Amino acid sequence: MKPLFTVHAGEFLVGCEIEKRFPNVNLWLPAKDTGIDLLVSNKDNKKTISLQVKFSRDYLVTHLQDFRNSLRACGWWKATRQQLKTSRAQYWVFVLLGLARNIEFIIIKPDVLLNRLESIHGKTVDTFQSYLWVTQEGKCFETRGLNRSNQQLIADGAFKDDSRDFTAYLNNNWTPIKALNE
């Protein structure tokens, strides 16, 4: 068993958000690393949802200063095909603490994430490098590999590419946990 307080920042932020939004659920921390960072159960502990949490610092501050007025936050994550295929977690939660102290949560099933990343980066990639950007208008895009003109279109709110649009998973995809709260 690990020491009691080994919760990393992303897990802490997700846990706080869940407790704030859903007062009728129970939140559990596994005693060992099994690929599940948080377990959420309904009040009587008969239904559960497992979460894998990934945290990123905000790269807007150091790498994307030209976009500060247009974007809320920009993060970088890495996941392997194998991690996504064999994930025991029902959902992956990408956490991004923005420059303005806003917290963004991208909540997605690992198989859906794998399919989305394959459609963007190809089916032969073993390790996916993913850049998720959140705009001031509340849109979320995967931007790895985009040229500067497409990045500017995202910042201007004019980018159109359904395969790269992750907005449906941004901050409002708490539905499975909401169901446990009732």
Residue 72 lies in a domain: yes
1 confidence band (pLDDT: 50, 70, 90): very low
Identity of residue 24: N
- Stated pTM of the model: 0.89
Query: pLDDT-derived band of residue 2, with 50, 70 and 90 as boundaries?
Result: low
Among residues 34, 50, 48, the alpha carbon closest in space to that of 2 is found at: 34
The pLDDT confidence band at residue 94, using thresholds 50, 70 and 90, is very high
Domain range for residue 14?
A: 9-181
Q: What distances in angstroms separate CA 175 from CA 32, 62, 76, 91, 109, one per listed residue? A: 27, 34, 25, 12, 12
pLDDT tier for residue 5 given thresholds of 50, 70 and 90? low
Instruction: Count Cβ atoms within 10 A of the Cβ of residue 93 and give its class: 0-12 exposed, 13-18 middle, 19 or more buried.
Output: buried
174 is a domain residue: yes
In a domain, 2, yes or no: no
- Could you give the number of structural domains in the chain? 1
4 lies in some domain = no
Q: Is residue 49 part of a domain?
A: yes
Please check whether residue 90 lies inside any domain of the structure: yes
- Asked if residue 103 is part of any domain, the answer here is yes
Q: How far is CA 106 from the centre of its chain?
A: 3
Model confidence at 51: pLDDT above 90: yes
Specify if 97 maps to a domain: yes
How far apart CA 167 and CA 56 sit, in angstroms, is: 18
The percent of residues in the chain predicted with pLDDT above 70, rounded, is 91
